[in-house]
Structure 1
Amino acid sequence: MTDKTPLVDMIRHLRTSLAHLKANGCTGFDCSPQGLETLAHLGVPLSAGPAGQETLETIRADLGDCTRCPLCRSRTHIVFGEGNPGARLVFVGEGPGFEEDQSGHPFVGAAGQLLTKIIAAMKLSREEVYIGNIVKCRPPGNRNPQPDEISRCLPFLKRQLAAIRPRVVCALGKVAAQTLLEVDTPISRLRGHFHEALGVPVMPTFHPAYLLRNPEKKRDVWSDVQQIMKMLG
């Protein structure tokens, strides 16, 4: 009997790639050099798990030593994200800072220490949640990531969320919230209630770095976090 496993795997990979392309607005095939370059920048999945479901490991392998945007020129490490691959709760920040760029781990500086305390107050640990960012390389001077940098990196975050399949996403700060929700509404108006993005409830709240400068806003964040805790049950 002929072994059909390679063919089945190829079909699964093709289906995953087509679904990813559709989610990113591609509606047809373009095999020109320019079209193929566009597909490469979108981070089209090259492999998946045995059931056609991507894993964080295969997504990281596809990302490789990324040079898709200019941020690669000044980074020390790619900060892919880390935590429980089956987490019910995912925190998404803006991008790595100095400490994160040096270590390769997300949220390890002063803002990260505050996030760790927030997670502990939720009766959770960093090992139980997943923490990532909109962009995976540090913008110079910790400036906001630019639209073209976000567009190159966001497909990989979307794939990470699809692989994790969390119950809730907490968007930390303006850039994360506006990017995930595809709006330009101020974070002060977005926070406080759930929105939906990529089929997942998203709770925007203030970034921990903002709380370090404005500690009076911690009460607002705790209110947002309590709503997340209630949804997680």
Structure 2
Amino acid sequence: MSQDQQLNNDELLSVLEWYRAAGVDLAVGEDAIDRFAQKTQQAAAPRAAVQSMQQASQPAAPPPLAGPIGGDPGEAQRLAAEAPTLEALKATLESYDGCGLKFRATQLVFGEGNPEAKIVIIGDPPGADEDREGRPFAGRTADLLTRMLASIGLDWDSVYALNTIPWRPPGNRAPTPEELSLCLPFLHRHVELIGPRLVMTMGQMATQTVFQSTSSIIKMRGKWQDVSIGNHTVPAIATLPPGYLLRNPAAKQQAWRDLLSFRSRMAELSLP
């Protein structure tokens, strides 16, 4: 059919029916109009004004976060070594501004339990609950850990707990190697001052840090090893952290085997 061919009534009705079936039910003119081009032209004029208003209403960029970009591990080592007691170490950490994590955390998470205890539990970096409460284990993880300890005859009067680092990393991310190097001297001194006879690590970061390993917690758990934490050498075993067990209840069987091994070693050393 040529473009100028005249259609009879039946053919016109057929064309109209085809358009109706296709969803075209409104005649807007003889010539087609490119609505997309029209919209672009209409928007072009006020666009600059709109952008100007948006820029004017945009809040000013916040000032850079307080605190140093990079600290000095040598200073951290010196300050930690100079702390003669746990109270002095805590005061040193509260005044220490060398690690930027401090300026993003709510508060310092130091340690909890009996400072005279011969059993130390080292957990991963603080999470949201720990950051909010200022305790190494908090919330539901603290409740489960209390029950885990009770299952082998321990309580908070017979253990001391602390975290690998004393401040929560933003968003629970892993600490950077630089941040870890600034916090490790304080962890080492913390353990030296307590002088435990047994250590249990709970979590991958805690285990890799204490055992100086890159292996996963799944491969490391349940295996005893003498570790050096600062100037203190002590037998240590790794197990799964309470938070992981809450998310994966089937793994409690593995943790229970680790606890039984820990109880056996306690009996050998007449602890607690």
What TM-score, normalized by structure 2, do the two folds share?
Answer: 0.67
Query: Are positions 1:201 and 2:235 aligned together?
Result: yes
Q: CA deviation at 1:146?
A: 1.9
Contiguous gaps of at least 5 residues in structure 1: 1-35, 49-54
* Alpha-carbon contact 2:111-2:160 (below 8 Å) kept: yes
In 1, Cα distance between the equivalents of 2:171 and 2:190? 26
- The residue type equivalent to 1:222 in the other structure is W
Note if contact 1:88-1:232 (Cα within 8 Å) is conserved in structure 2: no
Distance 2:72 2:210 in 1: 24
RMSD: 1.6
1:223 to 257, 265, 268: 257
* One-letter amino acid of the counterpart of residue 196, structure 2: P
Shift in alpha-carbon separation, 1:38–1:158, aligned structure 2, 3 A: closer
Alignment TM-score, normalising by the size of structure 1: 0.78
**2:189 alignment partner in structure 1:** 159
From 78, 87, 96, the equivalent of 1:57 is: 87
1:113 corresponds to 2:148: no
Deviation readout 1:97-147 (Å, 9 max, x if unpaired): 112111211211222221111111121111221010111111111122222
Q: Which has the larger radius of gyration?
A: 2
- Identity, % of aligned positions: 39
Match of 1:136 in 2: 166
Shift of 1:59: 1.6
The equivalent of 1:66 in structure 2 is 96
Runs of 4+ in 1 over 4 A off after TM superposition: none
Select 1:212's aligned residue among 246, 258, 261.
Answer: 246
Moved more, 98-107 or 39-48: 39-48
Deviation at 1:195, TM superposition (A): 1.3
Distance 1:73 1:217 in 2: 36
Cα deviations by residue, 1:17-63 (Å, 9 ceiling, x for unpaired): xxxxxxxxxxxxxxxxxxx9543222342242xxxxxx211221222
Correspondent of 2:74 among 36, 39, 53: 39
| 8 Å Cα contact 2:226/2:235 also seen in 1 | yes
Q: Between Structure 1 and Structure 2, how many residues are aligned?
A: 192
Residues 72 and 98, structure 2, Cα contact 8 Å, conserved in 1: no
